[in-house]
Each structure stands twice: as C-alpha cells, then as structure tokens.
Structure 1
Amino acid sequence: MSEQPGRDRLIAGRYRLLSPLGEGGMGTVWRAHDEVLQREVAVKEVRAPAGLPAGDVERMYARLEREAWAAARVAHPNVVTVYDVAMEGGRPWIVMELVRGRSLADILETTGPLSVTETARVSAEVLDALRAAHDVGVLHRDVKPANVLLSDDGRVVLTDFGIASVEGSSALTMAGEVIGSPEFLSPERALGRTPGPGSDLWSLGVLLYAAVEGGSPFRHDTPLATLRAVVDEPLPPPRLAGPLTPVIEGLLRKDPEERLPAEQAARDLRLIAAGGAPTTRVAYVPPPPPTVPLPEGEPDPGPPVRERRAGVVLVIGVLALVLALAGLTYTLLHRDDGDRNEGGSTPSATVTKTGEPRSPTPTSHEPSPSTSKSSAPPSSSEPAQSVRVALSGEHTRYEGSCPPPEAESPVFTATFTVGRLPAEVRYRWKLRHGSFEGREWRTLSFPEGGERTRQARVTVRTNDEDGASENAISVEVREPERATSDEVPFTVTCDKTTETPSDGASASSSGTP
C-alpha cells in the first residue's frame, strides 16, 4: 500500500500537491502547483495493486514511466499533454496539463444520454486523438467516458494514455478485485491476444453506444460475466442511435480485422455531427459466439497420490481474473486466432501463438508424439475428409515448489493434420482423472489455400504447496470424424520445503484467491 500524501507535499522538489481531483484503481490525480514554471498542473500518483509481488511492482513502475514518456510524444489538441514523469518514493508521478471541465462519465451520470449529434461530435474528437496517437505508435488501451474530458473552453480531451491500463502487468489483487473497465475491453484483449489500433476502435464503439444509449452494451453484474459478454454475446441492437447505428455496429465487430476503418468512422462521425447521414450502410451480422471452458463437476476417483478437485482457470488479458479451485488447476492457454468459436487465455513465456498455420515441430523428447485412432467411412462421391491428431508434452514430471515456474510447468502440444482443405475440426482436451465438461468443445479452422496442419497447446499449473498428483491428458476429435490421441501422462509433485526460483510463477497464469 502506498501512503496517501497530504496537502502541500512537494513531489520531486517541484510539484506541490494542492487537492485531489479524482481517484481510481491505479492511483489518485491531484491538482498541483509547478513551483518552477509557476503554473497549475495535474499530477497522477500511480499505485500498484495491493498484493502484487515486489518484482512485478518494480517492472510495472518501469513500464509506466516508459509509456508515460511515449504518451508525451502525442501532440494534439484533443490529447492531454504530458509534461513530466517525476520519480518519488520509488514510483512514477505523471505530470500533465490541468484540464478544467467535466468528464463524459460525470455528464452521462447526471444528465443522461447525449443527443445523436453531440455524441457524434464528441466521439469524432476522441477518434482524432486516437488516430494521432496511433500515428506515433501509442495505444491508449483504456478508452472510456471517465477518460474523456469536456473542458470549459469547449475542447474534448482524451486523458490517461498508457497509464490506467498497463499491458503485460498483473491487475489482480489478493481479494480477486479486478482493476480497469471490463465493459470497454476489446475481445482480443479479453482473450489475452496482442492489442492493436483496432482494440482502441472497439472501445470507442462501446463509448459511442454508452453515450447515446445511456449504458454499456456488455455490462453485467460481475467482471467475469461482463468479459464473457464482450467475447461471447452479440451486440444488443441500439434503440436511440439512429444514424450512428451502422458506425457503432461497424466498430463493435468481434474480429479486429473486420472493424470499421478509422478513416471511414471519422468521416461518418463528422457527417452525423453536422446533421447528415453516414456513408456506412452495411448491416453488422455478429459472428458465432466463441466457447469458453468452465469448471464443472468433481474429478473421477483414480490413482493420484492425493485426490484433488480439478477446475479451469480462465485468464483474461491484463485483468488476470482467476477462477482457482483448491488443488490442481488447469489453465487453458489455447490461442486459435483464426477461430470464431472459441475463447483463449493470456499467453505466457511457454506459449507459442497457435493462430497461424504452421508445420508441426518437435516440442520434446518426453514422451514421443502419439498417433490418432479414427474410424469414419469414406464418401462414395469424393475423398473422405480425415484428421490425425498427435500429442506431445514438455516438462511432464515436475518436482519442486508450487506453483511451478512458467518455464517448468507441464505443457502439451496437439498437432492436427487434415486430409483436405477447407476443414473445421471440433476437439476437446480430456483428462484421465477429471474432465472439462459443458462448453469445452473447440473449433479449429483450416481455410482454403492454407496449411493442412495446425497446433494447439495447454499448460498445467497448481496452487498446492505440497503433495503429488498423477494424471494423463489426451485430445478427442468429434468432427469431421472421430479421432483420439494417445494419452500423455504427467506428474506434478509440490514440495513446500524447496526454495522458490527467483523468477517465480507467472502472475497472469495462475493466482492464489
């Protein structure tokens, strides 16, 4: 926990804190006086989430400092100006231009939704700010009404570039609290995939919807339910948006490659703000919802040294929302970017991107890849579609402190090869003791003109302190024909007397509730 500075505290020998302007999950913004240049400024006191390990805190602050300086490169009237990054008490304090006005969140809360033309005007200014940032390689990553200021002089100013949401650092507190705004998070960030300019455009689409409709389209009672809605659920049809509807629908396409381009969105928003009609006419048809595995049921009794309850951990982007049950937890880290029908998880150092077609490569000498067992009658009119699945494992015997370091956790790679293209493979991971029940079937797409081989990967983690668990994993294919890989056994033995390695376990892969 950081200490709360009082009034008149001097930061870096220069910035005197006067009064708090606002407070959020990542810190407090202060009105302050620059005693060198004799002007008022805004100073953001950045605080790490409670319970974050010291090493992660240090890396987080270093990254914040770098990204604040990166944001300072964005020179645009719709972007808050970053003046300085001062180090005080071992953490960065971001010194910015003081904008006098109200946030869009305050306005929506007190006066209700904006008109269509005012929403278009404000959003067009926000989009101008984002395009200026993207031009210099800066992503905002936290576009929301609270970070849009409507100044007293009529400016629309986007604040908190790279500060409120820090890519690659954990935002999980000891109580499981999620820091950030899940309802404005893009599907690719919710699935742990690499964000890009399209991720900011998605957040702008949610902001547009909230501003004109009076509420976020994906908000639910809990952060996890909200994130699942972002990934799974179709967009609720706007009721009040009028000519803004095709712009909103174009920005809120689940696939970032299919979103409305920034140039076209900017043109349409300017036309609507002036009372005209947008040029975007194509109706948006939501893609099929992806499936996200959920923990269900008890594991079957079997030969493990110590029986455990198995559960799935859904790790969602930088929010690292952990669903950890007692005992062995299985963190699915599958990332099939070409697939519209499945969820994903935060990548780790041991996870390779599986969304791009590629030829199989050996991953380990222990154990050797297995062969598939399939039986489907060939078609009389054309060659039968076939699928082969081979499974290999790395680090299949772990013994030491738990959770295991990410580089030493058991990792299993499934290699799928189809007989002809295009193809759709439906498959799931299976455990010898315990199973992933419910919505665990996943779809892997093999497009026409692509490769006939693709891979998927799963990592096994544990939160136990001692004891051993023996199990085995395999892959079952349901379509286009039934096939099953051989089982690959693995053992995780936790010894709490063993000293934890210095690099520790990835905070984003598993956590302690």
Structure 2
Amino acid sequence: MQGLLIAGRYRLADSIGSGGMGRVWRAHDEVLHRAVAIKELTAALYVSDSDQAVLLARTRSEARAAARINHSAVVTIHDVLEHDGRPWIVMELVEGNSLADEVKESGRVEAREAARIGLWVLRALRAAHSAGVLHRDVKPGNVLIGQDGRVLLTDFGIAQIEGDTTITRTGEVVGSVDYLAPERVRGHDPGPSSDLWALGATLYTAVEGRSPFRRTSPISTMQAVVEEEAAEPQHAGPLGSVITALLRKDPAHRPSAEQAEQMLAEAAEGRRPSAAQAFVPTQNLGPDAESRTGYGSGSGSGTGTGPQYTSGTGFPYGGETATPTPSHASATPTVIGPPAAP
C-alpha cells in the first residue's frame, strides 16, 4: 500500500495508527503539496455488499458531522472519497500521540495535565453539541495530543447528527463498551451527558493507567458500567471529584457541560473544584453517619444530596444491597440526658 496514489491525488506514506474499523495513513497531497492523514475503512474488506452500503453511509456521516463543527480542538476533515470500492477520509494530520499511547508509554498522566486535556476535549464536545452532533465514542484512543501540546478530538465515525435518521441497526451496540454511558448500555437514546460520562471514564484511565470498568469480557464490562461504582482514583488529586461527578450513573445527576468546564479549569490550575462536591454522592459511613450525612433524619428519607440508601431498597442501578439501617419511630430524635433526681 505504501506509495499508492489515491484518487489521483493523495500518495500514501506510512501507517500511523489502526483500529477495529480502519487504518490511518500519513499521506502527501500532490495538488496542494501538504501532509495529510487518510483513514482507510478496512472493515469494508470483510463485510457483505449490504453492510458496505451502511459503512459508506457511516463514513459520510462522519465527514458531515465533523464539517458542522468549527473548533480548533476538533480534527478537520478535508475530503471523503471512494477508492477500490471502499470509503476513505482525508483529514488534518496531527503529529503526536493519542492519549491511549501516552498512558501506555508512561503508565499514567499527571493530574493537572489530564485536567488540561479534559478541558480541551470538553470544549470540543460543547462545540459539537452546539452543532447538534453527539460524538458517542469518546475514549483515550480518539484524543490526540500534538507535539506542540494541542489537544484534538477525532473520529466522529459513529456520531449521531440531531435531526438525521440513525444508520445504526436495531440492537447494535455502537462505541467501546467500557466507555459507554450506563443509559446507553441499557438501550436508551444517548444525549450530551452520555459524552460527558465517557469523558469522565477517559480521564480516569488517564490518571490511573487503567479503564475504570473494563472486565474480562464485554458482557461483564457492561454489567460493571451499569451496576458498579468505579474504584476511587488514587492519583487524580483535585481532578478526582470531577471524575466522580462525570461518572454519576444517572445522567440527570451529572454536571452540565458549562459546570464541568469550570471544574476542569480549576483542576488544571491545581485547585480543588468546590462545585464538584455537590455532585459526589454522600456515603453511609457508619453508625453515626446520620449526624454527618443527614441520612435517616426526620421521616427517614434523608436530607443529603446523594442517593438515599434505606433498608431493603438497594443501590441505584443495581449492585449490592445497602446495609439496613433502623427506621425512626418519630421525626423527633430521642435525647438522652442526666438521670432524674430521686
């Protein structure tokens, strides 16, 4: 393939990346005399004619989605073409590594740098959401870090454009399973907050060096996404509470993009975002937890901002059952004072 001329214009140089759907080549545009990246959809080699039509539709969807987003943190799409019966995407060449490569090489990313990376990815997502585009596959492999420090979000190949009919077949799971938001695993339609959840999982991987929910199989991974809480990050520093806020199971309890951007900006400066704590679920920490969390006060429903775990209800979205706590007979707590005089 090296040296192959595509569409009479783009000459392939060397392969710079590959994935389940395709391979990315460094190439030279012989018309404009510039270096570009070309994504070859290798999946087209192994699918039926009918599936090739779906793949071509996805490729065009990617180009159309990216073209609607005008932001410096989104990889620019130059052209979409067909060669050898397959779709190819010509895009901006980013000299550098993906976040996945950085984690693989270094073990993990320093917390403030991870917050800076997350801030730029969030800005790219806000621009996409404003254009009516959901990314739906935010993960470390799709976050590019240039040699000049630029951060760019790429691969809108399974993006969903608001107002378009979906090209995804019924029952098909789209995206990397350990970065799928819980509501998507449950089969619900994704929204902007689903991309924010994936960003939280991506930042967790960056600072800890491992995916928070990846298990031994896709099924057990999806079960963990829906039912289990991520282990508390040990190297996140001020970014920890932001990650926890983004990884809330219920999309209604996650911060908005504007709130998340403010939190990430503070974490990138090394400050602990005070607003993030409001999104962190309060834990039942022992016999005296009521006095510290507000659980069980009054009528027993709890006054804390986090999930209210009461006897027999279990944890939200599955998981193990909460430890039963005694219910209160009345709203007025019993006060134990000094013994009465004889």
Give the corresponding residue for 1:222. 217
Could you tell me which residue of structure 2 aligns to residue 282 of structure 1? 278
Question: Which is strand-richer, 1 or 2?
Answer: 1
1:58-85 residue CA offsets vs partner (Å, 9 max, x unmatched) = 1231232133222122121111111111
Q: CA deviation at 1:164?
A: 8.6
1:239 aligns with 2:242: no
Q: 2:195 aligns with which of 188, 196, 200?
A: 200
CA distance in 2, matches of 1:98, 1:216: 27
CA distance, structure 1, for counterparts of residue 29 and residue 170 of structure 2? 32
Q: Is 2:116 the partner of 1:116?
A: no
Match of 2:145 in 1: 150
Deviation of 1:286 (Å)? 9.1
Structure 1: how far apart are the matches of 2:282 and 2:272? Answer: 23
Question: Offset at 1:232?
Answer: 1.5
Q: How does 1:91-102 map to 2 (within 5 A)?
A: 91-102=86-97
Q: How many Å separate the matches in 2 of 1:54 and 1:242?
A: 51
Q: Which residue of 1 aligns with 2:168?
A: 168
- Return the offset for 1:275: 2.0
> Which structure has the bigger radius of gyration?
1
Name the % identity. 53
| TM-score where L is the length of structure 2 | 0.76
| Shift in Å, 1:281 | 1.5
CA contact (8 A) 1:187 1:230 kept: yes
Amino acid at match of 2:257: A
Q: Aligned to 2:81, what secondary structure does the other structure show?
A: strand
Equivalent residue number for residue 136 of structure 2: 141
Report the 3-state secondary structure (helix = DSSP H, G, I; strand = E; otherwise coil) of the residue aligned with 2:90. Answer: strand
2: CA distance, partners of 1:264 / 1:20: 39
What residue in structure 1 maps to residue 298 of structure 2?
none
Name 1:83's counterpart in structure 2: 78
Separation of aligned partners in 2, 1:253 and 1:286: 12
Describe the shift of the 1:97–1:222 C-alpha distance in structure 2 as closer, same or farther (beyond 3 A). Answer: same
1:141 is aligned with what amino acid?
A: R
Instruction: Give the count of matched residue pairs.
Output: 281
Q: 1:267 to 1:179 in 2, by over 3 A?
A: closer
Change (3 A) 1:281 1:184: same
How far apart are 1:53 and its partner, in Å? 4.0
Gaps of 5+ in 1: 1-5, 173-177, 288-339, 343-513
> Hey, what's the Cα distance between the residues in 1 that align with 2:38 and 2:170?
23
Correspondence for 1:378: none
TM-superposed deviation, 1:170:
8.2
In the TM superposition, what whole-angstrom CA distance separates every residue of 1:446-493 from its partner, at most 9, and x where no partner exists? xxxxxxxxxxxxxxxxxxxxxxxxxxxxxxxxxxxxxxxxxxxxxxxx
Q: Describe the shift of the 1:286–1:189 C-alpha distance in structure 2 as closer, same or farther (beyond 3 A).
A: farther
Question: 1:265/1:341 Cα in 2 relative to 1: closer, same or farther (>3 Å)?
Answer: closer
Partners in 1 of 2:282 and 2:187 — Cα distance?
21
Compared with structure 1, are the counterparts of its residues 167 and 109 closer, same or farther at alpha carbon in structure 2 (3 Å cutoff)? farther
Asked whether the 8 Å contact 2:135–2:159 carries over to 1, the reply is no
> What is the DSSP-based 3-state SS (H/G/I as helix, E as strand, rest coil) of the residue aligned with 1:65?
helix
Alignment map for 1:11-22 (pairs within 5 Å): 11-22=6-17
Q: CA deviation at 1:167?
A: 6.2
Aligned match of 2:61 in 57, 66, 69? 66
- Counterpart in the other structure of 2:292: none
Q: How does 1:26-45 map to 2 (within 5 A)?
A: 26-45=21-40
The one-letter code matched in structure 2 to 1:113 is R
Superposition pairs for residues 348-363 of structure 1, below 5 Å?
Answer: none
Q: Secondary structure of the equivalent of 1:282? A: helix
**Which amino acid is 2:280 matched to?**
Y
Secondary structure of 2:133's counterpart equals coil
Q: Does 1:189 align with 2:184?
A: yes
Q: Which amino acid in 2 is paired with 1:241?
A: A
Aligned residue number for residue 98 of structure 2: 103
Sort the Cα spacing of 1:341 and 1:127 in 2 relative to 1 into closer, same or farther, 3 A: closer
Residues 107-147 of structure 1: per-residue CA shift (max 9 Å, x gap): 11111222221111111011111111111111111111111
Residue 271 to residue 141, structure 1, CA distance change in 2 (3 Å):
same
Could you list the runs of 5+ residues in structure 2 that have no partner in the other structure? 161-165, 284-315, 319-342
Work out the CA distance in 2 between the residues paired with 1:35 and 1:171: 43
2-structure distance, mates of 1:133, 1:103? 20
> Kindly tell me: are residues 71 and 12 of structure 1, through their superposed partners in 2, closer, same or farther at Cα, counting changes over 3 Å?
same
Counterpart residue type for residue 192 of structure 1:
G
Q: Contact 2:54/2:167 (CA < 8 Å) preserved in 1?
A: no
The list of structure 1 runs, each at least 4 consecutive aligned residues, that deviate by more than 6 angstroms after superposition, is 164-167
Task: Give the structure with the higher percent helix.
Answer: 2
Q: State the secondary structure of the residue aligned to 2:276.
A: coil
Deviations 1:279-337 (A, max 9, x none): 322253399xxxxxxxxxxxxxxxxxxxxxxxxxxxxxxxxxxxxxxxxxxxxxxxxxx
Q: Distance in 2 between matches of 1:164 and 1:264?
A: 24
Report if aligned partners of 2:143, 2:152 keep a CA contact under 8 Å in 1.
Answer: yes
